[in-house]
């Protein structure tokens, strides 16, 4: 039960990829943070909400064979670092693709999927994963 408030608070960013942009240096962060780690004090009050487009490309990836019990049903699966069009990198699963078809630079887009469940009676968690875009 302990994680319910944390998951709930993070729903907007996990459902809609809401990050922040530092108006001082232009860097984009996801998940959102209160202060820019580059500009520090200069960024106070300048961190603006920014909804990511959901589009990006595979920056690097790995095939996960020994999955966490939550992902038992999905293994083997591709875990990737996705570089978003806005520049920020996000670690997530790549779905709707054969593992051998994944390549660096592959264009992907965010979709909503079930991320997990807290046992048989607990809350269900939803958020983004990435799937290939037709090129």
Partner 1 sequence: MKTGIVSYGAYIPRTRIEPAEIGRVWGIDGEAMGKGLMVHRKSVPMPDEDTITISVQAARDMMQRTQADPEEIGAIFVGSESHPYAVKPTSTIVAEAIEAAPHLTAADYEFACKAGTAAIQTSMGLVGSGMMRYSVAIGADTSQGAPGDALEYTAAAGGAALLIGTEKERLIAVINHTYSFTTDTPDFWRREGQMYPSHGGRFTGEPAYFKHVVTAGKTLMEMADTKPEDYHHVILHQPNGKFPNRAGKQMGFTSEQLKYGLLTPEIGNTYSGAVMLGLASVLDIAKPGDRILMVAFGSGAGSDAFDLTVTDEIEKIPREKGTTVREMIDNYTLIDYATYAKYRGKIKMRE
Binding site for partner 1 (CB under 8 A): 11-12, 15-16, 73-74, 95-96, 98, 111-115, 124, 126, 129, 134
Which of Zn ion, partner 1, none does residue 40 bind to, with CB < 5 to 8 Å depending on kind? none
State CA 52 to chain mean position distance.
Answer: 10
Name the one range near Zn ion by CB under 5 A: 40-48, 51-59, 75-83, 114-122. 40-48
Which of Zn ion, partner 1, none does residue 1 bind to, with CB < 5 to 8 Å depending on kind? none
Strand order in the sheet with 18-22: 28-29, 18-22, 47-51
Q: Does 35 bind Zn ion (CB under 5 A)?
A: no
């Amino acid at each position: 039960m302990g994680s319910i408030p944390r998951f709930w608070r993070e729903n907007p960013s996990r459902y809609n990829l809401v990050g922040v942009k530092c108006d001082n240096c232009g860097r984009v962060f996801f998940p959102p943070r209160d202060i820019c780690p580059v500009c520090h004090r200069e960024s106070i009050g300048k961190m603006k909400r920014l909804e990511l487009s959901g589009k990006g490309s595979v920056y690097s990836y790995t095939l996960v064979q020994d999955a966490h019990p939550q992902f038992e049903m999905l293994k083997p699966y591709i875990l990737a670092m996705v570089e978003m069009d806005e520049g920020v990198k996000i670690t997530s699963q790549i779905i709707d693709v054969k593992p051998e078809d994944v390549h660096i630079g592959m264009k992907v887009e965010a979709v909503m999927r079930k991320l997990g469940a807290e046992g048989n009676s607990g809350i269900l968690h939803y958020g983004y994963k990435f799937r290939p875009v037709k090129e």
